[in-house]
């Protein structure tokens, strides 16, 4: 594998030099789980598409580095960072206190709530007590998994883990699940807009301190140089209007920084 980073001493000099850092940095490898349209998924030709993909590519273009995407199930993202399989995670990863103990994060990419998806007419609410006896699926490694284990399981809800979001929806469509729990925007703008999601609806946002909204790039603990570089790129996308253009392309007039629980 080609060396992706400068030595620490050279990197420190580049930080001081400002724009010189972006010119010297050769490649950024981003981990992604492409089962979460419209944020990240695969097109018919196998290429990666989505809001996060466009943001990552734009950050790389701004910093004048090569973008390399490394696919992984979501629960493998943090282990992958620790094993140096990639430099950062751009895959709708929410910033949580538990994750901040083991990895660091860039500045915010976007915010969004969590919701349930279920068959139209099922009249399921977000109150855990009302979901007792129902079967709810979630993607492993997500904040929804933490909520399911800490809240839903204790309320008598039957919960089921899946390796990726596509598998969750497959069992929801087949009737093996009564509901799924995931990012609200992903459900509304991804699944519900697909032919398979036509007979389903989304609940109101689930209100819990276990379900924060802020999403960012996950990076290895203590990598201050990469954080500074990514923050610089993200800010540049806001300053020159690129972020707003990408957001409008995928979400219309919706402001992802105002979507709170």
CB 115 within 8 A of CB 181: yes
Cross-strand partners of 103: 220
CATH topology of domain 8-111+214-251: D-Maltodextrin-Binding Protein; domain 2 (3.40.190)
For residues 56 and 48, what is the distance between their CA atoms, to the nearest angstrom?
11
Kindly list the distances between the CA atom of residue 186 and the CA atoms of 92, 95, 113, in Å, as whole numbers in the listed order.
Answer: 10, 17, 10
CB 89 within 8 A of CB 216: no
Judge if the upstream peptide bond of residue 215 is cis by omega within 30 degrees of 0: no
| Domain spans of the chain, in order of start | 8-111+214-251, 114-202
* pLDDT at position 13: 36
Q: Beta-strand (E) ranges in 150-256? A: 158-162, 179-183, 200-202, 214-220
Judge if the upstream peptide bond of residue 38 is cis by omega within 30 degrees of 0: yes
> Which residue carries 């030709």 as its tokens?
45
Q: How many CA atoms lie within 13 A of 104 on its CB side?
A: 15
The two three-digit tokens of residue 136, written as one number: 């709810």
For residues 256 and 148, what is the distance between their CA atoms, to the nearest angstrom?
25
CB 234 within 8 A of CB 170: no
CB-based burial, 77-113: b 16+ in 10 Å, e otherwise? bbebbeeeebbbbbbbbbbeeebeeebbbbebbbbbb
CB 94 within 8 A of CB 214: yes
| Per-position pLDDT tens, the chain of length 261 | 333 333 333 333 343 444 444 436 699 999 999 999 999 999 999 999 999 999 999 999 999 999 999 999 999 999 999 999 999 999 999 999 999 999 999 999 998 899 999 999 998 999 999 999 999 999 999 999 999 999 999 999 999 999 999 999 999 999 999 999 999 989 998 999 999 999 999 999 999 999 998 999 999 999 999 999 999 999 999 999 999 999 999 988 766 753 322
21 contacts: CB under 8 Å, gap ≥ 6: 11, 14, 15, 229
CB 225 within 8 A of CB 63: no
User: Is the CATH number of domain 114-202 3.40.190.10?
Assistant: yes
* pLDDT at position 112: 83
The two three-digit tokens of residue 109, written as one number: 């990419």
147 contacts: CB under 8 Å, gap ≥ 6: 114, 181, 206, 208, 210, 211
Q: Of the candidates 5, 3, 1, which has an alpha carbon nearest to the alpha carbon of residue 224?
A: 5
Same fold: 8-111+214-251 with 114-202: yes
């Amino acid at each position: 594998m080609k060396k992706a980073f400068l030595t620490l001493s050279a990197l420190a000099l580049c930080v001081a030099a400002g724009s010189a850092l972006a010119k010297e940095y050769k490649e950024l490898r981003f981990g992604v789980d492409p089962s979460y349209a419209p944020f990240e998924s695969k097109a018919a030709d196998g290429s990666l598409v989505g809001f996060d993909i466009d943001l990552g590519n734009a950050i790389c273009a701004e910093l004048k580095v090569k973008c390399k995407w490394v696919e992984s199930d979501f629960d493998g993202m943090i282990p992958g960072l620790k094993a140096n399989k990639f430099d950062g995670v751009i895959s709708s990863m929410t910033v949580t206190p538990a994750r901040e103990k083991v990895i660091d994060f860039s500045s915010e990419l976007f915010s969004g709530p969590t919701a349930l998806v279920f068959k139209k007419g099922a009249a399921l609410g977000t109150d855990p007590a009302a979901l007792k006896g129902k079967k709810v699926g979630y993607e492993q490694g997500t904040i929804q998994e933490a909520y399911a284990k800490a809240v839903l399981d204790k309320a008598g809800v039957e919960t089921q883990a899946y390796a990726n979001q596509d598998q969750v929806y497959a069992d929801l469509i087949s009737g093996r699940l009564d509901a799924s729990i995931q990012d609200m925007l992903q459900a509304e703008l991804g699944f519900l807009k697909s032919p398979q999601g036509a007979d389903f609806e989304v609940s109101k946002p689930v209100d819990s301190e276990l379900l924060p909204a802020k999403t960012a790039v996950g990076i290895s603990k203590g990598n201050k140089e990469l954080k500074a570089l990514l923050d610089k790129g993200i800010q540049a996308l806001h300053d020159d209007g690129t972020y707003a253009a990408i957001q409008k392309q995928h979400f219309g007039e919706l402001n992802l920084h105002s979507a709170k629980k």
